[in-house]
Every structure is written in C-alpha cells, then in structure tokens.
Amino acid sequence: MSELAPFRLEPYFRTRIWGFHDLAPWYDFHTDGEPIGEVWLTGEMCKVATGPDAGLTLTEITAKLGHGLLGEAFGTGEFPLLIKLLFPKEKLSVQVHPDDALAQKYGEPRGKTECWYALDAQPGAAVALGIKHGVTADEIRASIENSTLEDLLQMVPVSKGDMLYVDAGTVHAMGPGVVILETQQTSDRTYRMYDYGRPRELHIEKSIEAMRLETHAGKIPPQAANGSTILIDEKYFRIERWDVPAGEANSLVTPIGKVQMLFVVDGSLEIAATGAEPFTVGRCQLAVIPADAAGVTVTATSPSSVVRIRPNEV
C-alpha cells in the first residue's frame, strides 16, 4: 500500500474551562471531568486512522513523509496549518496573537494569523474583532485595570456560514452561541489580555506589544468560483466550501503541489488513491491529501458539504 495515499485523522479533544461536557450533536463525546472546548483536527497529537501508517501521530507521519506529504508547504518541516473546532459555552478570554516577527523575537518559529468559519450561530451571537476606532493604548491599559475592556471592543454579529478573518495583532474574543471551524498558522501562542476575573495568567505587556489598533480583521464575503465558494484566500490559507450531490466530488481534489485537507460539514465521502484501500470520511471528520498522492478519487456517498483547506505561505 502506498504511504503517500490520503488518510483520515482522529480528532483530539482538548479541555477548556469555557467548554462543554457533552459535544452532541457534533460528536458522540461526553465527559464528567473537565469540559471540552476544542477539538483539534490537525494537532500534533492527532493520530492517523487509516492506511499503513495508522496509529502514528501527525508529527510522526509528517517527519516520515516530509516533502511527499507537504510539498511546497514544507517550510520548516512542520504541518503548516492547525485546524480546530471550537465549542464555547462561556466567553473566551480577550486575547491577541503575535505576528511572525514578534513571535520570532521571543523564540517562536511563527506567529498566529487565523480565520473562523461559523458552522453554527444562535440568534444574537457575536464576536469581538478589534478595538473601537480612536481608542489609545493607554486607554486599553487602563480599561484592563478597571475591568472595562469589553466596552472598547468592536463587536461583530455572526450568522451560520460567516467567515471571519483574524490577522495577527487583532484584539479578539469569542463568546457563546457559536460553533467555529478555526484554521490558523501552526502555533498555540496566545497572549491573554483580559479574562473577566478568572484566576488565569494574563500577559498584559506582551498583549500591548503585539496588538495593532488597526487591522484587517472582519467578515470576508464569499465568492463563487468553478462550482465552489471561496470563503477566504489570504496569506497563509485558502478555504473553499463545496456542496456536492451524491456520486460526485472528484473536482474536490486537484494536484496543486501542496498538502490539502478536506473537512466534512455534512454528508460523507469515500476517498481512494493508487495502491491504497478506500476509506470514508464522515461528518466532522477530516482527511489529509498528501502533495504527492497519485490517482486520488473522491466520491460523495451522500449529498455533502465539504470544506477544502490548503496552505498558501508557511
């Protein structure tokens, strides 16, 4: 069997104080312990679920396959994008991520630019993206001290199907009422600016250093293109949504010289390749298509909505 065939990854469930104990109907997952707030789909600890490398972590298979897996997205040799599902039951902290230059100043390989695709949104749901126009850094620092920072945040209403861009340096926060598919640079570097009095470490000085009072964050209007919808096409990632009837989907995968990921929002896919056994990808599951995979075919086994994610720069 070909080691460069596509494969499915097992999700990895991360505890977060702002999450849920039961992830139904998205996942058949219940815990009586710490709540689950994030489901990592391409985390370093996610395990290969199909094919000859089943059981290897994403880090291990990336090291093993190298350029054959990542192609032009090889960069430093790490898997280029971290993809997650977020399930906030309570407010996340107000936070900011460094850009590449600042992250490297502090010994990190890269910063963290990300985007959020709303898989679901309840009436009245909103996120904070950026600081209101005219607010100064001194006013932000004072508002952190007197617990009024929320008053300075730019709130953006969210509906199901919205795509939001969150470039590095954007002060942001997410609240309850949404389920988010997040795609980001492979980095977990977060500077926590404000946390509503919860007893967690804050990184105020680094937050102030990292933040930009003006950024490009906000909603990205979708664009129709060749049977798909381009949700976002920015420096680090391009994301498309494909809605395909049963029996079709081959155009989902075209050789681009880079690794590609397919996340099934609804429905199911069967993926096959030269020298490999076919496998299925169901709702809320993710498949990885190596750059050098040969003869890849994708068939929708039911009407399906699929998000295709690929790196641009790394």
- Do 164 and 217 touch, CB atoms closer than 8 A? yes
72 carries a ligand binding annotation: no
Q: How many CB atoms lie within 10 A of CB 230?
A: 17
In the beta sheet, which residues pair with residue 241? 229, 307
- Do 15 and 69 touch, CB atoms closer than 8 A? no
List of E strands, the chain = 7-9, 12-20, 36-40, 81-86, 94-96, 114-121, 126-131, 153-157, 163-166, 172-174, 178-185, 191-194, 218-219, 223-225, 228-233, 237-244, 260-273, 276-281, 286-289, 297-311
Number of alpha carbons in the 13 Å side-chain half-sphere of residue 268: 8
> Residue 88: which H helix or E strand, with range?
none
Q: DSSP character for 134?
A: T
97 carries a ligand binding annotation: yes
114 carries a ligand binding annotation: yes
CA distance 189 to 47: 22
- Do 304 and 298 touch, CB atoms closer than 8 A? no
192 is catalytic: yes
DSSP 3-state of 201: coil
Catalytic residue among 8, 110, 189, 192: 192
Please, what's the b/e burial string for 255-281 (b: 16 or more CB within 10 A of its CB; e: otherwise)? eeebbbbbbbbebbbebbbeebeebeb
Binding site feature residues: 97, 114, 172
Catalytically active residues are 192
Annotated binding site for Zn(2+): 97, 114, 172
